[in-house]
Structure 1
Amino acid sequence: MKIEVETQDKARYMGLLLLADEQESMIARYLTRGDLFVMRADGGRVVCVAVVTDEGGGVCELKNLAVAPCFQRRGYGKYMVGYLCRLYACRFGTMMVGTGDSVTTVSFYRSCGFEYSHSVAGFFTDNYDHIIVEDGKVLTDMLYFRKSLC
């Protein structure tokens, strides 16, 4: 596996980014200002993408993490999160991640060492043009998790 920062034509990964964030206009808000990481398998096939932004005050945020469907549940997402935490540890003290109240997603981030920080009530209903359902549950609030990188 090889992970590289993509600086040109970030939008060409939109199809994969949409797996983790269902609305293109929301992705556009952070894609241009964030670092886009692309994990490739031997042979160049894209396995996973992630976007990290600088939120100021020593905090970075993992805005998007998506694993191609044929590579899911094989540890690639967790590997990417670990890589990003190590990479950003020298520049930031804390990494944040926001997600919906989905058992699968919350469990994943907890397994990566993130702890609950706070919630933003109505985030999904206020910012998305459609209802988002994950694990059979309509998402309303954004749950934020944090991990110390020091």
Structure 2
Amino acid sequence: MKIEKIIENKKQFLDLLLLADEQEDMIDKYLPSGDLFALYDDDLKSVCVVVPINSGTCELKNIATYEKYQGQGYGRALINFISDFYKKDYQTMLVGTGETPAILSFYESCGFEKSHRVKNFFTDNYDHPMFEGDIQLVDMIYLKKELWE
């Protein structure tokens, strides 16, 4: 398994990024300024994008694994890698997601804890209703992880 930081032609990973954030113009808001990492295990399995928020905080804006490889530890490996990668520069990493129990428990199992909520984020910022399975996403739930621990 190897993880690479992608410097140019980040849009080549759009198909995978769209699995986690299904509206391209939302991805376009953070992809240019974000750090894109790709995880390969023979072939591409997962990607993520991390953006700086301020001098002490960065945010995991997107993490996606191809569906046929989900549940095999690739997302967790990527989170472990970026947590270690950014701990020299930031104290805290945030991640925002919909109110989906399986996804929230995944982040919590990776060392994140619930931080705060942004009311109506998905209904205010996306041009169509967003669903994760049969759950409509309305509020953005933010989780945080202290990187220096």
Q: Shorter-chain TM-score: what band?
A: over 0.9
Q: Distance in 2 between matches of 1:9 and 1:16?
A: 14
RMSD over aligned CA atoms reads: 0.7
SS in 1 for 2:85: helix
Please state how far the C-alpha of 1:136 moved relative to its aligned partner.
1.1
Please state how far the C-alpha of 1:69 moved relative to its aligned partner.
1.3
Q: Aligned to 2:139, which of 111, 130, 141?
A: 141
Are residues 1:110 and 2:113 paired?
no
Q: Aligned to 2:68, which of 67, 70, 76?
A: 70
- Tell me the residue number matched to 1:31: 31
Alignment TM-score, normalising by the size of structure 1? 0.97
Aligned residues: 148
Ranges of 4+ aligned residues in structure 1 off by more than 4 Å: none
Is the 8 Å Cα contact of residues 4 and 38 (structure 1) preserved in structure 2?
yes
SS in 2 for 1:95: strand
> 1:52-131 counterparts in 2 under 5 A?
52-131=50-129
SS in 1 for 2:19: coil
Structure 2, unaligned runs of 5 or more: none
Structure 1, unaligned runs of 5 or more: none
Q: Distance in 2 between matches of 1:5 and 1:70?
A: 23
Q: Distance in 1 between matches of 2:55 and 2:82?
A: 18
Alignment TM-score, normalising by the size of structure 2? 0.97
Is the 8 Å Cα contact of residues 3 and 37 (structure 1) preserved in structure 2?
yes
Q: Distance in 1 between matches of 2:6 and 2:68?
A: 22
Is the 8 Å Cα contact of residues 104 and 135 (structure 1) preserved in structure 2?
no
Deviations 1:88-137 (A, max 9, x none): 00100000000000011101100001000000000000000010111311
Deviations 1:62-102 (A, max 9, x none): 00000011211001101110111011001000000000000
Is the 8 Å Cα contact of residues 103 and 135 (structure 1) preserved in structure 2?
no
Please state how far the C-alpha of 1:4 moved relative to its aligned partner.
0.5
Q: Which amino acid aligns with 2:41?
A: A
